[in-house]
Amino acid sequence: MRRFDAHVRNCASCSADALARVQIKRTIQAAGRRYTPSAEFRKRMQQKIVAKPRRSFALGWTFAAAAVAVIVVGTLTSLYVGTRSGRDQVFSEIADLHVATLASSSPVDVISTDRHTVKPWFQGKIPFAFNLPELQNTEFSLLGGRMTYLEQTPGAHLIYDVRKHHISVFMFQERSLPAKLNESSPSPKQLTFNMETWTQGGLRYFVIGDASAADIDNLAKLFKAAS
């Protein structure tokens, strides 16, 4: 990933190709959600199962109980799978946003190492406020920030540097996210980046990059302390 990152930064052709592939992936994911079974369809299927004719009173109750058990298990399973799928979708989107930004010729809209310059830039552009950590006596440096969107949810995207590794910090309103996450939500194993996520003060934070897990954790701690 480090070699890929270094190459993409200096190759206009590959950076454009990487960005195009990310955009195609997101388009396919959006198209796939068009055919999710509706609640009305599920309700009709459940009614058909429960409405099966009963051959006898006792046997009918047995079948009815079995049908109810199947419906309950199926509903709980679908809820779990749906929640997990939605959670993984959010993680995948965050990784795509991180890669697309690194491949962009203009990764930040406000270029500054001063948090007192970057933070005010977001005022009026996103529907929430946030605090940035003090980086003095740390190995991290702020490169700048930009507006971003997760699905249709606006948020802030900050980029930090540590030992030539770029780390993205995303912030969104928790209640506006397309999938609900919790503190025990693990990041997908297929991600090639280290990532931490948590919620604080009504905001959902994502810290992601190819830096070490320790660096990701240290930057996350700085944000938690600042918030």
For the segment 157-214, what is each residue's pLDDT rounded down to a tens digit?
999 999 889 999 999 998 888 666 655 444 545 567 899 999 999 999 999 998 999 9
Structural domain contains residue 40:
no
**CA contacts within 13 A on the Cβ side of 156:** 26
CA-wise closest residue to 147 among 165, 171, 167 = 171
pLDDT at 152: 80
Structural domain contains residue 37:
no
Task: Supply angle C-alpha 157, 140, 175, rounded to 5.
Answer: 30
pLDDT at 167: 94
- Note whether 69 and 127 are within 8 A (CB): no
pLDDT at 108: 87
CATH number, domain of 24, equals: 3.30.200.100
Structural domain contains residue 155:
yes
Q: How many Cβ atoms sit within 10 Å of the Cβ of residue 16?
A: 14
Structural domain contains residue 52:
no
Query: What residues contact residue 156 under an 8 Å CB cut-off, 6+ apart?
Result: 122, 126, 130, 145, 147, 148, 170, 171
pTM of the model: 0.63
Domain residues for the domain of 105 are 2-29+82-226
Q: pLDDT tens-digit profile of 41-77?
A: 878 888 888 766 555 455 555 555 555 554 555 555 4
pLDDT at 140: 95
CA–CA separation, 95 and 3 (whole Å): 17
CA–CA separation, 19 and 101 (whole Å): 8
pLDDT at 37 over 50: yes
pLDDT at 83 over 70: no
| C-alpha separations of 154 from 78, 79, 126, 131 in Å | 29, 26, 6, 17
What are residue 108's phi and psi, to 5 degrees? Answer: -130, 150
Report how many domains make up the chain. 1
Residue 73 or 12, more confident: 12
